[in-house]
Amino acid sequence: MLERIGPFTLLLARVVIGIVFVAHGLQKFFTEGMTEVTKGFESLGIPLPSVAAPVVAGSELLGGAAFIVGAALPFFGVFLALDMAGAIVFVHGSRGFFSQQGGYEYVLVLIAVCLAVGFSGGGAFALDRLWRRDRPLAAVGNAR
């Protein structure tokens, strides 16, 4: 029974984390706007803020969407984990561990989940499982 549930738990994790990243990317692009995000990045001491702001927003939007559909998971898992590592270095690291004080607790969880999901195969309905050559099409959704 656990073998049948496993792919769907990965699907759930993948979609939820994808939604979180898509929401943050959309927020940066459309709620705050690139001008404000760039100013914020500049005030945080992030290098090349006018380049970093759209790259971060775009990676969150595109990476989140890729997680939702299960495409290029190892690449986007690492890319999003690096994005969050930057958030620790430039924002949360100096504020301690706990998220209630603005610390890196939540961001650290996102790093771990991005890497775990990124290298898991994606579970049920992941596009990555469709184009893997070592699996027949009938095995889609099989997490083993």
pTM (2 decimals)? 0.88
Q: What is the mean pLDDT of residues 34-56?
A: 97
Q: Could you write out the three-class secondary structure of the chain? A: CHHHHHHHHHHHHHHHHHHHHHHHHHHHHHHHCHHHHHHHHHHCCCCCHHHHHHHHHHHHHHHHHHHHHCCCHHHHHHHHHHHHHHHHHHHHHHHCCCHHHCCCHHHHHHHHHHHHHHCCCCCCCCHHHHCCCCCCHHHCCCCC
Residue 74 covered by a domain = yes
Residue-range definition of the domain harbouring residue 100: 2-139
135 pLDDT band (50/70/90 cuts)? Answer: low
User: 144 lies in a domain?
Assistant: no
Q: Does any domain span residue 72? A: yes
Name the domain count of the chain: 1
112 falls within a domain: yes
